[in-house]
Amino acid sequence: MKIIRTDMELETPLVDKTLRESGHHLVLLPDGVPEDKLAKEIEDCDILLMCYTPVTKKIIDAAKRLKAIIKYGVGIDAIDIPAAHARGIVVVNIPEYAEETVAEGAFAMLIALAKKLPILQRQMENKAWAWPSQEWLGLDIAEKTLGIVGCGKIGTSMARMAGLGFRARVIGYDPGKTKEELAGHGIEKYNSLTDLIKASDFISLHAVLNGETRHIIGKNELSVMKKTAIIINSARGALIDEMALLNALERKQIAGAGLDVFSTEPLNQSDHPLKKLYQMENVMLLPHLTFYTKEAMNRLELETLERCSEVIENRQVIIKSKDPRLQNKNQQ
């Protein structure tokens, strides 16, 4: 079979080696491959492996024999799923490989900002020492309130780390979860996002991105956050109105932000609308890599190969995600 893997910068040596050794023709394409080029390459492609590259209707319509689009990752927003399903093309992701991993990454940002580790590190690099003064005064996590927006597997893992590990009070906003479900994870359910924000010392976002959650944290939500509050986003950049966040940080309206995801990636220091974030001492920026550990990548590669095998052997493709967008009734 001809198999295309886009976003070749995200190295998957086991996937590439296994597919080639099995006799398949593997084509690697870079991040940012032009739509026309991908549309041309996909004409005789059987399986498309993608991570970040948009898979538009134009690309899907160009495919003459495509059987499956496999997202080697979680988010599926870059795929025109209805267009794929209309053509009988299976769309599947790998939703479980990094649940604990991303929660650990989000919690690492929370600890670092609460303890002012980034600015202390810069002070040590520039001045070699820092004497105890108010500008270096950090925060305890114990007995503080962590508000979690989106209480799925990553959010509940974050809750466990903060609650059981650090004795924080954990509250959560998730309209899809019952009070009893959240209580089983040590989370007190809040029905009002505004009330949760007002009560939180730290806020961590773990919601999926859809029409209802886009900019779920906007100017109004930021305006009711505590001045001492820190917000963490390791889910999707567009959950936050990023320009409103930038303004809130510039005005010292909130204490800080830890960001691993952005609406427009990659971030840069020249012409990106969020470039001012690089100059802010109360901000921690990561390059969308909280998922990137040895163990998580091994799980990702093995499961990606499992989905490939199902397509190659004409078996039913296992869809583990509960996202209704992936439930193609035509494939049942």
d(C-alpha 115, C-alpha 111), whole Å: 6
- For residue 210, how many other CB atoms are within 10 A of its CB? 13
Kindly state the tokens that stand for 21.
């050794």
Reference 161, options 148, 175, 177; nearest CA is 148
User: What Rg do the C-alpha atoms of the chain give, in angstroms?
Assistant: 21
CB neighbour class for 132 (10 Å; exposed up to 12, middle 13-18, buried from 19): exposed
Kindly state the tokens that stand for 269.
């220091």
- Catalytic residue, chosen from 265, 281, 295, 306, is 265
Antiparallel, parallel or unpaired: β 2-5 and 256-259: unpaired
- Catalytic residue, chosen from 5, 206, 236, 307, is 236
d(C-alpha 110, C-alpha 155), whole Å: 14
H or E stretch covering 231: strand 230-233
d(C-alpha 200, C-alpha 226), whole Å: 7
Terminal Cα distance for the chain, rounded: 24
d(C-alpha 7, C-alpha 228), whole Å: 39
d(C-alpha 216, C-alpha 52), whole Å: 22
| Structural contact between residues 173 and 155, judged by C-beta atoms closer than 8 angstroms | no
- Identify whether 236 is a catalytic site residue: yes
Peptide bond before residue 266 is cis, with ω within 30 degrees of 0: yes
Residue type, 99: E
- For residue 30, how many other CB atoms are within 10 A of its CB? 11
| Structural contact between residues 205 and 180, judged by C-beta atoms closer than 8 angstroms | no
| Structural contact between residues 44 and 54, judged by C-beta atoms closer than 8 angstroms | no
- Catalytic residue, chosen from 24, 288, 299, 325, is 288
The catalytic residues are 236, 265, 288
